Amino acid sequence: MHSKTIYLNGQRVAEDAARISIFDRGFQFGDSVYEVIRCYNGVPFLLDEHLSRLERSLRELSIDLPQPMSEIRDLCVKAAREQGRSPSVLYIQITRGVADRSYSPPSGLVPTFVLYCEDKPVTAERVYAEGISVAVLEDIRWLRCDIKSTSLVASVFQKMSAAAKGADDVLLERAGVGVVESGSGNLFVVKDGCITTAPEGNLILSGTSRALVLQLARGLSIPIKLAVPQTAEIYSADEVFITSTTAEVLPVCRVDSVRIADGTPGPISRRLLRAYRAEVTRETNYHYEE
C-alpha cells in the first residue's frame, strides 16, 4: 500500500496505530458521514464546498462536529501538504461516537474523527478518450441520498451487479421518477446541445463537481434543463457523462447494450472537461500531462 497521512481525532498517527473501537457506531450502524476531496499539487480542490456539505450532512443526522470547522479545514490543508505534490485524495469520516450497541444513541457522545490522505493518480487519458460503459439498475438506496452517509451497502451491491454485467459503473433508476444519478457521481444527458441533469433533492447527492460543471456550462452558454432523465432519453442521447470528485467529467459511451450516438465522447463533455481542468490548474497550479 502507498503511505498515507493519517489523523485520528486530530492527532497524527501511524497506519498501524490508526484504530477505533468495535463499539463505534460508524462501524456497527454506518452511523457516520464522509467526504472525499481530490488534491492536486498538495492542494485540496473545492475544499470549502466539500466541508460545507460535510457540515450539512452532520446537521441532518444530528451528529456533533468533533472540533470547529475552521480547525478541520486547517487539518485538511496540512494533511494534503504533508502527503506531497502527487495527485491524491483526502478522506474524512465523522461518526456519532462509541457506545453500547443500541439503535437509539445516548446523549453526549464524543464523535470519532478520521482523516487521511493517500496518493491517487488522475484517471487515465485513455478512459476519457474511449468513455465508459454503464448498466441501468433499480435504485435500492434509502430516501436520503442527499446525506453523504457511510451506509453504502446498497451502492456496493449495485456496483458489483454492474461489474457482473461487464459494465464499468451503474446508473440508478428510481421507480416512478427516472434515472437519478450514477453509482458514485452525478448524471448528465445531452440532447440537441442542451444538458439535462436531476435537480437537487433527497434522491441525489448534490455533488461539488456537479455544481462546478453547471457553473462552467452557464459560462459557456450551454443550455441546462433540471429534470430527471428517463431511460429512453438516455438511450437516444447525443452524449452522456458523469461528474465526480475523482472522475471529473467522464464520458459514457455505452448504456446497457446501447451505444450512445457514435460511441465516442461528444463535444460538450470534452469542452466541459477542458474547462474543469482549467479551473483545477487555476486553483492549484496543477498541470495535466498532455
pLDDT for 137 beyond 90: yes
Express each pLDDT in 206-250 by its tens digit: 999 999 999 999 999 999 999 999 999 999 999 999 999 999 999
Choosing from 119, 154, 189, the residue where a domain stops is: 119
**At 132, which CATH number?**
3.20.10.10
DSSP 55-77: HHHHHHTTPPPSS-HHHHHHHHH
Judge residue 263's burial from the number of C-beta atoms within 10 Å of its C-beta, 0-12 exposed, 13-18 middle, 19 or more buried. exposed
Say which of 4, 78, 120, 148 is annotated catalytic.
148
151 lies in the same domain as 256: yes
Band the pLDDT of 289: cuts 50, 70, 90: confident
pLDDT for 1 beyond 50: no
Cell of residue 102, nine digits: 443500541
pLDDT for position 290:
74
What is the arithmetic mean of pLDDT over 72-101? 98
On average, the pLDDT of the chain sits at 97
3-state secondary structure of 140: coil
pLDDT-above-90 percentage for the chain: 98
C-alpha span between 19 and 285 (Å, rounded): 35
174 lies in the same domain as 105: no
pLDDT for position 2:
63
Beta bridge partners of 191: 194
Express each pLDDT in 20-48 by its tens digit: 999 999 999 999 999 999 999 999 999 99
Residue 278 lies in a domain: yes
Q: What residues make up the domain containing 17?
A: 4-119
pLDDT for 96 beyond 80: yes
Q: Is 4 a catalytic residue?
A: no
pLDDT for 108 beyond 90: yes
Residue 44 lies in a domain: yes
136 lies in the same domain as 277: yes
In 3D, which of 271, 269, 240, 273 has the Cα closest to residue 254? Answer: 240
**At 29, which CATH number?**
3.30.470.10
C-alpha span between 260 and 188 (Å, rounded): 13
54 lies in the same domain as 11: yes
In 3D, which of 39, 137, 52 has the Cα closest to residue 91? Answer: 39
Express each pLDDT in 253-266 by its tens digit: 999 999 999 999 99
Total domain count, the chain: 2
